[in-house]
Structure 1
Amino acid sequence: MSHNVYQMPERCKPGARVPNWDHLLALSIEDARRRPFVWGAHDCATWAFDVRHRLTGGPDHAQIWRGRYKTPRGAERVLRKLGWASFEEGARALLGAPLGAVGLAQRGDLVLGGQPEAFGICLGARAAFLAPEGLATRPLLNCHLAWRS
């Protein structure tokens, strides 16, 4: 396991959400449908962590990579520079241990899954993911990890 450059802040409290978080989630989904995919600005990880930040008022984790890459290869380089070998390792460093089972995820929780692997947001029985082709949904149970937002 590599040395992590960025760790989860002590004050992060999973499960705490801002008032009207469900409305903010709906607005975030609509915004994602309208905006084009842009590596490093509006991609799967940046979007999902930005949604989590909006819903919780917690740390803006995406600030550590936002704007630092413009290609998939650049994203991989930034991941390695942050000390993480994978998306999962980065999420564990930022958010702690995932939920015991992905089926425990609730609306607004951050998920990881798919091929290629991507971060998304739980919508209930499905999860939303941002891809170069646009916003897509997949069954939640196709994801392999989830973190409480």
Structure 2
Amino acid sequence: MTTCPRHPNWQALLDDYVRANERKPFAWSGQNCSTFATEWVRIATGRVLAVPDTLTAREALRTVRGLRGLYADACTQLGEPVPGLMARSGDFVLLRLPRSRGRVVRVFGVCLGSVVAGQGTNGLVMVPITEAEAAWRI
């Protein structure tokens, strides 16, 4: 697992970051789950993670498949994860969310303790930590 030293004031920065993003609507380019979580990594540690820019759902799906999935991409950039339930506040998290007809969608978020903040359609959504598949310490 690769960790980066966090800014000494990371907790206040996280509160400010969540407040600043809580009502920002989803956009494939610029305000999606990847950009939300990776921007937090940059704020907290100064480390810039590669995030492909996508303009449509189709481009995003093609990009994720080309990267062998969100999990593989996160492991490449952040190292080995811990189990999702071991996530701590400020960690980079992969959520596994059930959808209709037994399908599952995976999205990135940021742990806030017992919940994970992730980008929703009309702003941030808070998802129980029990939906976390994996977490990376940052």
Normalising TM by the smaller chain, what interval? 0.7 to 0.9
Q: 1:34 aligns with which of 18, 23, 45?
A: 23
TM-score (norm 2): 0.86
Q: Residues 40 and 75 of structure 1 are in contact (CA less than 8 Å); yes or no, is this contact kept in structure 2?
A: no
Residues 1:77 and 2:62 are matched in the alignment: yes
* Higher RCO, 1 vs 2 (CA within 8 Å, ≥6 residues apart): 2
Residues 1:48 and 2:31 are matched in the alignment: no
Q: Shift of residue 13 of structure 1?
A: 5.0
Q: 1:110 aligns with which of 67, 83, 92?
A: 92
Q: Residues 2 and 78 of structure 2 are in contact (CA less than 8 Å); yes or no, is this contact kept in structure 1?
A: no
Unpaired runs of 5+ residues, structure 2, are 98-104
Q: Residues 2 and 137 of structure 2 are in contact (CA less than 8 Å); yes or no, is this contact kept in structure 1?
A: no
**Moved >3 Å (runs of 4+):** none
Q: 1:134 aligns with which of 95, 102, 123?
A: 123
Separation of aligned partners in 2, 1:37 and 1:52: 19
Unpaired runs of 5+ residues, structure 1, are 1-11
Q: State the aligned residue count.
A: 131
Secondary structure of the residue aligned to 1:146 is: strand
Q: Shift of residue 131 of structure 1?
A: 1.7
Computed over aligned residues only, the root mean square deviation of the Cα atoms, in angstroms, reads 1.7
Report what 2:49 is aligned to.
61
Separation of aligned partners in 1, 2:2 and 2:115: 24
Q: Deviations over 1:79-128 (max 9, x none)?
A: 34xx41211011011111101x2222111001101322100000001111
